[in-house]
Each structure stands twice: as structure tokens, then as C-alpha cells.
Structure 1
Amino acid sequence: MELLILSRLLEYPDAALWQHQQELFDALAETEHLSLKDAHRLGVFIRDLLSEDLLDAQASYSELFDRGRATSLLLFEHVHGESRDRGQAMVDLLAQYERAGLELSSRELPDHLPLYLEYLAQLPHDDAVNGLKDIAPILALLGARLKQRESRYAVIFELLLALAESRVDEQKVQAQLAGEARDDTPQALDAVWEEEQVKFFAEKGCGEDAISAHQRRFAGAVAPQYLTISTGGQH
């Protein structure tokens, strides 16, 4: 139950979340593996989130999770980056989902954290805990970055680590953060976009004039896509 709640809260906020908020609080009251203190912290998160205007919550979510890679909810982004290993990892994870009877739509990426949590929620408790332990270093790093940005979402990752019963070396996490530059600034985002465009056209054999023309035509045209999982994890 806890993982389904956390999965839903990490999804892009939608009207259904506001409409079914009482069901969310009812589900929270039935959790078995959160301490009273952690259940209270989660309740405060839900209360504060749902007290916001929906459009404001959506804008904050997009600003947080869809700008740059540091806080991406795509797990393999933090493991494989753009390497070819990512594709095979996706295939392997998709096979795990299928064995568990979890069907994905054509728009869903297997390594999207909310989807992975929904998958773990279908497993026996010990297996779910082991699944969380597998991604504990990623959860710790994401949580630390969100805390650094003073985001309320940091508490979600703290609770996931508590459920994972996993101890993370805080000194190593803080040392990595200390050496990082923010990748969600306009300058950083522009640099990444330009690098990807140059790489794309270099692979296609286009000259600089073609690159410039493409940039002028399509600048700002790409919009993020969001995935939604219904309350309670049903599709």
C-alpha cells in the first residue's frame, strides 16, 4: 500500500489526485510498514500538495522533474546515461514487469520511478524491499538534490529509503553534491540542447548552415510528456 501511495504522489499531478484525495488519506491510514512518525510526515506532504492550486502544483512538478537530468525520475538516466546499455536494461526490466502481470502502454518507459514502485507493490514484501535496495543509491542522491533545492518532494525519497531498510553513506552523497553544478539553469539547458543538436546533425552529415536553420525553426518546440497512473495503481 505504501509503495502505491508513493508511486501515485511521484506522478505528474492531475485532477484525479485532487478528486480522490480522501481515498488517499484512507489508504495512508491502512499502511503497515511506515512508522507513525513517517506516516504523519507523508500525511503532511499530501495535505500541503493538495492545498495548492492544481495548475501551480503541475508547474512546480515540471520545473522540478523535467528540467535537466539531475532530478529525472527515469532511473536508468542515473545509471547508464546515453550508453547503449540503457536499451538492454529497459528490455530486461520490461520482461520483469510482464512476468509480474504489469502491462505498459506504448507511452510508458519501464524505468520511470513511479512505475517501478507500482511494480514493486505487486511483489511479496521482502522482494519489494530488495527491489528498493537495488535503487537505494539513486534514491539517496535524488533525495539529497531535492533537499538542496528545498523541495517538499525530498520527504518522499526519505520515506522510500526508510522502507528499503537501507543505510546510505551520507558523506559520499554530500561529496558528490558538492562537486555538481546545477543542470536546470537556462544556461545549462541551452548548452545541453545545443550539444544534442550538433551531435545529431554531425551524425547525419549536415553542415553548420543546416544546424542553424533547424535551431531557428524548432527552438522551443519540444514539450514534455507525462505519464499517469490512476489512484490505487490501477490501469
Structure 2
Amino acid sequence: MSVLKLIGVLLDYPRDELWQHGEELLEACDDPALSPARRRQLQAFVRDLLATDPLDAQDRWLATFDRGRSMSLLVFEHIHGESRDRGQAMVDLIDAYRKNGFELDARELPDYLPLLLEYLAHRPQAEAKDWLHHIGHIAGMLAARAAERQLPHAVLLEILVEAGEGKVNLAVLRQRASEEVRDDTVEAMDRLWEEEAVRFGADAPSQDCDPPHRSPARAQPREIQP
């Protein structure tokens, strides 16, 4: 298992079968491309995950990535928001998958970060590095927010930043994250629901770029077929 595949698996919704592959996950942490310190951090993350009850780990994932948008694992949500450009970007990404012999087996959005990492794990190293370089600022901001919230996932995202070899200043991003108003509180979620009141008829918003609603059902096992 490559390090990109491993990071994607660990960022994804922790399905029950993950606990059946603990030894494989720990072995994958010992990747020579990583520094000894990063290997130890990854191993600690995996051991902590394996020591956690699956239901508790799943609840923690939902609380981390499914509340608010600042920790969204949908890459284009951070780039395009709800604009129509996001829809076209996803179409282009699906085309790239297909041109390289990959088909999505489930209805997961193509810009879902664990899915993108699974794809990049099968691509040439230079191409994968170029992708990670271009999304480095997104991974960096996610890493900064995770660190600010004292989430263990911060190390996974920092590794992605390092793999892209971009000029991402994590210290600056951490400072910015510390000054942000969090969008995952009860009050923030209530405001979001009020702002997104359902409208019907001619006043209804376009569905092309609606933010997806992630849930365990959407994060069921999916494969990318080469």
C-alpha cells in the first residue's frame, strides 16, 4: 500500500472492515519515503484508531468532516464554493479518471479527497506530486484547522503538504486558522440552516453545484477499477 493510498484510507469514513486490516495499515506506515518521525506519527494515528470502538471512530469522523464546510474533504468546495465552475471542474476530473482507465463504482463525488488520493496512488509519481502541489494550499489549510482543533488528522494532511513540495507556510495558516470563527458549532449550524432555507419553484437555487451532504451511506465501500 502506497503512502497516498494509506492517507486516503485513514482520511476516509472509518468503515467497520478497517479494523480487520490493522497489521496491513501499520506496515504501510513504514514507508521509506517518509521521515522516521512521520512514520512514528502515522503508526500512532493507526494504533489510536484501532484501539477506538468503530462506532466512536465513526462519530468522531462525522463530527470532524461532516459539520460545517471548513473541514470538508471535497477539494473543489474550497476552490469554487457553490459556483458553476465547480460542476465543470468535477466533469473534467471524471474525464481525467476515465482517460486513465478508472471508473467510479459508487456515487461519491470525484473531488472527494480520499478518492482522489486513491487515484493518484496509481498514477506516475511526477503526476501525483503535481496534483498535490496544486492542492497544497487546501491540504495546508485543512491541516492548520485540524491542528487548531487538536484533531489527530492534522498529521495526515501535513504529510500531503510535504508530498506536494509546495511553498505552503503552515505556521501562517495555523495563525489564520486560530483567528477563524468555527462553523461546526451548534449556533453556526443553526445559522447555516436558516441561510439555506428550502425554496421551490422559480426561486429555487440551481442544483448543479449544491454542496453535497456527506454521510455514512455516501461513504460506503467503493472501488476504483483500473
Alignment TM class, shorter chain as reference: 0.7 to 0.9
Write the mapping of 1:51-200 to structure 2, written as runs, cut at 5 A. Answer: 51-170=51-170, 172-174=172-174, 176-197=176-197, 200=199
> Any stretches of 5+ residues in structure 1 without a counterpart?
206-221
TM-score, with length taken from structure 1: 0.84
The structural deviation recorded for 1:56 is 0.5
Displacement of 1:26 after TM fit? 2.5
How big is the shift at 1:100? 2.0
Q: Deviations over 1:160-209 (max 9, x none)?
A: 112122231345424532542110111111111121115x348447xxxx
Aligned CA-pair RMSD: 2.1
Which stretch shows the higher mean deviation, 161-170 or 129-138? 161-170
Q: Indicate the residue corresponding to 1:9 in structure 2.
A: 10
Contact 1:75/1:138, CA 8 A, preserved across alignment: yes
| CA drift at 1:234 | 6.2
Q: Secondary structure at the match of 1:197?
A: coil
The 8 Å contact of residues 66 and 214 in structure 2, kept in 1 or not, is answered as no
1:116 Cα deviation (Å)?
Answer: 0.6
Superposed CA offset, 1:116-150 (max 9, x none):
11111111111111110010000000000011111
Contact 2:5 2:117 in 1 (8 A): yes
Q: Aligned residue for 1:215?
A: none
SS in 1 for 2:151: coil
Q: TM-score normalised to the size of structure 2? A: 0.87
Residue in structure 2 matched with residue 227 of structure 1 by the alignment: 219
Q: Structure 2 CA distance, aligned partners of 1:72 and 1:203?
A: 30
Q: Deviations over 1:10-66 (max 9, x none)?
A: 11011111011112122333x232122211111111011111111110000000000
Task: Kindly indicate whether residue 19 of structure 2 is the aligned counterpart of residue 18 of structure 1.
Answer: yes
Unmatched segments (≥5 aa) in structure 2 = 205-212
Instruction: Assess if the C-alpha contact under 8 Å between 1:65 and 1:72 holds in 2.
Output: yes
**Preserved CA contact (<8 Å) 1:28 1:43:** yes
The number of equivalent residue pairs is 215
Query: Which residue type is aligned with residue 61 of structure 1?
Result: W
Q: Which amino acid aligns with 1:92?
A: D
Q: One-letter code of the match for 2:7?
A: L
Whether the 8 Å contact between 2:64 and 2:71 is mirrored in structure 1 is yes
